A and B are shown apart, each in its own frame.
Chain A
Amino acid sequence: MNIRVTAQTQTASALANFRRQQTNIARVQDQISTGLRITTASDGPADYVAINQAKSTSRRSVTYAQTLNDAATDLNTSVSALLEGTNALVRAKQIAQEGVDQTLDPNSRQALATEVDSLIERMVQAGNVQSDGKYLFGGTAVETPPFVVTSLTPGGQPTAVSYTGADTRARGLISPNQTVDTKHVGSQVFQKSGADAFAALINLRDTLRDSSLSDGQRSAALTQQVGAVDAARDGLSEITGEQAAALAGIEAIRFRVSDLKLSADTRSSELESTDYAEAVVKLREQDNAFQATLAISARLFQTSLIDFLR
Chain B
Amino acid sequence: MAINGFTIGISALSVSTKALDLIGQNIANANTPGYSRQRIDLANTTAGQEVGTGVTINRFTRYEAPTLASARRNSAASLASVSVRLDTRRQVETALRPTAAGIGDQLDTFFTKATALTTRPNDSASRRELLGTADNLARQFNAAAGDLDILRADVGRRVDQSVNEVNTFAKKIAQLNGEIANVESRGDQANDLKDQRDQLIANLSERIDVRVVPLKFGAVNILAGNTAVVVGDSAVQFSTVIGPTGQKQVVTAGANPSAVNFEAGTVTGALQEYNTDIPATRARLDALAAKFIQSVDQVQATGIALTGPRSLVTATRGVTDPAALLNTQNLPIPVTAGQLVVSVTDAGTGTRTNSVVAIDPAAQSLNDVAAAITAATGGQVQATVDVPQNTLRFQAQPGFSFDFAARPSNPPQAVNVGGTAVPTVGGAYTGTGNDTFSFQITGTGTVGTTPGLNLEVRNAANTLIATLNVGEGYTPGTPLAAGNGVTVSLTAGTTTNGTFASDLYAPPDAAGLLGAFGVSGLFKGSSATDIAVRPDVLADPSLVALSRTGQPGDSGNAKLLADIQDRAVFGNRTLTVEYLDIVGAVGADVTSLDDQVAAQSGVQSSLFAQEQAAVGVDMNEETLQLLNYQRMVQAASKYISVVNTALDSVFDILR
A interface list, Cβ under 8 A from B: 2-9, 11-13, 16, 39-46, 48-49, 52-53, 55-56, 59-60, 62-64, 66-67, 70-71, 74, 132, 134, 138-143, 162-163, 166-168, 170-173, 176-177, 179, 182-183, 185, 187-188, 191-194, 196, 304-306, 309
What's the least CB distance linking A84 to chain B, in Å?
Answer: 21
A179 touches B559 (CB 8 A): yes
What's the least CB distance linking A191 to chain B, in Å?
Answer: 5
What's the least CB distance linking A310 to chain B, in Å?
Answer: 11
Cα A49 to Cα B582 with chains together (Å): 10
A171 touches B555 (CB 8 A): yes
Interface of B is mostly: helix
Q: Which of A55, A140, A305 contacts B623 (CB 8 A)?
A: A305
A183 touches B618 (CB 8 A): no
Binary A-proximity of B453-487 (CB < 8 A = 1, otherwise 0): 00000000000000001001111011100000101
What's the least CB distance linking A205 to chain B, in Å?
Answer: 19
A6 touches B554 (CB 8 A): no
What's the least CB distance linking B609 to chain A, in Å?
Answer: 5
B553 touches A167 (CB 8 A): no
Binary A-proximity of B472-515 (CB < 8 A = 1, otherwise 0): 11110111000001010100000000000000000000000000
What's the least CB distance linking B305 to chain A, in Å?
Answer: 14
B473 touches A194 (CB 8 A): yes
A and B contact pairs by CB, cutoff 8 A, 24 listed: A3-B613, A8-B31, A9-B609, A40-B94, A42-B93, A43-B587, A45-B584, A53-B577, A53-B580, A56-B576, A63-B116, A67-B116, A74-B119, A140-B554, A143-B122, A168-B549, A170-B554, A171-B118, A179-B559, A191-B478, A193-B474, A193-B475, A194-B473, A306-B619
Q: Which of A166, A194, A305 contacts B554 (CB 8 A)?
A: A166
Collect the chain B residues with CB atoms within 8 Å of residue A7's CB. Answer: 30-31, 616-619
A134 touches B479 (CB 8 A): no
A48 touches B479 (CB 8 A): no
A172 touches B555 (CB 8 A): yes
A140 touches B549 (CB 8 A): yes
The winner among B109, B473, B563 for most chain A CB atoms within 10 A is: B473
Contact flag A4-B621 (CB < 8 Å), given A13-B605, A49-B580, A140-B547: yes
A56 touches B30 (CB 8 A): no
* 8 A Cβ contacts from B600-655 to A: 601, 605, 608-610, 612-614, 616-621, 623-624, 627
A5 touches B98 (CB 8 A): no
B164 sits at the interface (CB 8 A):
no
For the complex of A and B, 3 pairs with smallest distance between CB atoms: A41-B587, A167-B479, A142-B553
B590 sits at the interface (CB 8 A):
yes
B580 touches A48 (CB 8 A): yes
A138 touches B613 (CB 8 A): no
Collect the chain B residues with CB atoms within 8 Å of residue A170's CB. Answer: 121, 551, 553-555
B584 touches A9 (CB 8 A): no
Given contacts A9-B613, A12-B612, A306-B619, 7 further A-B contacts (CB under 8 A): A4-B621, A7-B31, A45-B585, A53-B580, A62-B112, A138-B553, A171-B556
Contact flag A193-B616 (CB < 8 Å), given A166-B551, A304-B623: no
* 8 A Cβ contacts from B102-150 to A: 104, 108-109, 111-113, 115-116, 118-122
What's the least CB distance linking B553 to chain A, in Å?
Answer: 3
Contact flag A140-B552 (CB < 8 Å), given A41-B93, A62-B112: yes
Collect the chain A residues with CB atoms within 8 Å of residue B93's CB. Answer: 40-42
The winner among B427, B469, B555 for most chain A CB atoms within 10 A is: B555
B586 sits at the interface (CB 8 A):
yes
B90 touches A42 (CB 8 A): yes
B426 sits at the interface (CB 8 A):
yes
Contact flag A134-B122 (CB < 8 Å), given A12-B605, A45-B588: yes
Please, which residue of chain A has its CB at the minimum distance from the CB of B100? A55
Interface of A is mostly: mixed
Collect the chain B residues with CB atoms within 8 Å of residue A132's CB. Answer: 120
Please, which residue of chain B has its CB at the minimum distance from the CB of A73? B119
Please, which residue of chain A has its CB at the minimum distance from the CB of B94? A40
What's the least CB distance linking A26 to chain B, in Å?
Answer: 14
B540 sits at the interface (CB 8 A):
no
Collect the chain B residues with CB atoms within 8 Å of residue A194's CB. Answer: 472-474
Cα A156 to Cα B272 with chains together (Å): 85
Cα A166 to Cα B304 with chains together (Å): 15
B307 sits at the interface (CB 8 A):
no
What's the least CB distance linking A293 to chain B, in Å?
Answer: 15
The winner among B489, B554, B608, B617 for most chain A CB atoms within 10 A is: B554
Q: Which of A3, A44, A59, A143 contacts B112 (CB 8 A)?
A: A59
Collect the chain A residues with CB atoms within 8 Å of residue B590's CB. Answer: 41-42
What's the least CB distance linking A245 to chain B, in Å?
Answer: 18
Please, which residue of chain B has its CB at the minimum distance from the CB of A11? B31
What's the least CB distance linking A149 to chain B, in Å?
Answer: 16
What's the least CB distance linking A309 to chain B, in Å?
Answer: 7
Contact flag A60-B605 (CB < 8 Å), given A6-B612, A8-B612: no
Collect the chain B residues with CB atoms within 8 Å of residue A185's CB. Answer: 479
B428 sits at the interface (CB 8 A):
yes
Collect the chain A residues with CB atoms within 8 Å of residue B118's CB. Answer: 67, 171-173, 179
Collect the chain B residues with CB atoms within 8 Å of residue A63's CB. Answer: 112-113, 115-116
Contact flag A173-B613 (CB < 8 Å), given A48-B583, A194-B473, A196-B475: no
Collect the chain A residues with CB atoms within 8 Å of residue B555's CB. Answer: 140, 170-173
Please, which residue of chain B has its CB at the minimum distance from the CB of A12? B608
Collect the chain A residues with CB atoms within 8 Å of residue B115's CB. Answer: 60, 63-64, 67, 173
A193 touches B553 (CB 8 A): no
Please, which residue of chain A has its CB at the minimum distance from the CB of B562? A173
B192 sits at the interface (CB 8 A):
no
Collect the chain B residues with CB atoms within 8 Å of residue A45's CB. Answer: 584-585, 587-588, 591
A141 touches B552 (CB 8 A): yes
What's the least CB distance linking A180 to chain B, in Å?
Answer: 9
A5 touches B613 (CB 8 A): yes
What's the least CB distance linking A78 to chain B, in Å?
Answer: 13
Binary A-proximity of B280-299 (CB < 8 A = 1, otherwise 0): 00000000000000000000
Collect the chain B residues with CB atoms within 8 Å of residue A16's CB. Answer: 601, 605
Contact flag A8-B478 (CB < 8 Å), given A172-B118, A304-B620: no
Cα A182 to Cα B558 with chains together (Å): 15
B552 touches A176 (CB 8 A): no
Cα A112 to Cα B428 with chains together (Å): 45
Q: Which of B427, B478, B614 contacts A187 (CB 8 A)?
A: B478
B587 touches A193 (CB 8 A): no
B21 sits at the interface (CB 8 A):
no
Cα A178 to Cα B118 with chains together (Å): 12
Q: Which of B111, B426, B618 contacts A4 (CB 8 A)?
A: B618
B576 touches A4 (CB 8 A): no
* 8 A Cβ contacts from B507-566 to A: 547, 549, 551-556, 558-559, 562-563, 566
Please, which residue of chain A has its CB at the minimum distance from the CB of B425? A167
Cα A217 to Cα B387 with chains together (Å): 79
B581 sits at the interface (CB 8 A):
yes
B594 sits at the interface (CB 8 A):
yes
B478 touches A163 (CB 8 A): yes
Collect the chain B residues with CB atoms within 8 Å of residue A167's CB. Answer: 426-427, 479, 487, 489
The winner among B112, B426, B585 for most chain A CB atoms within 10 A is: B112
Collect the chain A residues with CB atoms within 8 Å of residue B580's CB. Answer: 48-49, 52-53
Collect the chain B residues with CB atoms within 8 Å of residue A11's CB. Answer: 31
Please, which residue of chain A has its CB at the minimum distance from the CB of B589? A42
Cα A67 to Cα B126 with chains together (Å): 12
Collect the chain B residues with CB atoms within 8 Å of residue A60's CB. Answer: 108, 111-112, 115
What's the least CB distance linking A31 to chain B, in Å?
Answer: 16
Binary A-proximity of B203-242 (CB < 8 A = 1, otherwise 0): 0000000000000000000000000000000000000000
A41 touches B30 (CB 8 A): no
What's the least CB distance linking A243 to chain B, in Å?
Answer: 15
Cα A162 to Cα B477 with chains together (Å): 10
Please, which residue of chain B has its CB at the minimum distance from the CB of A187? B478
Cα A309 to Cα B622 with chains together (Å): 13
Cα A168 to Cα B559 with chains together (Å): 15
B619 touches A304 (CB 8 A): yes
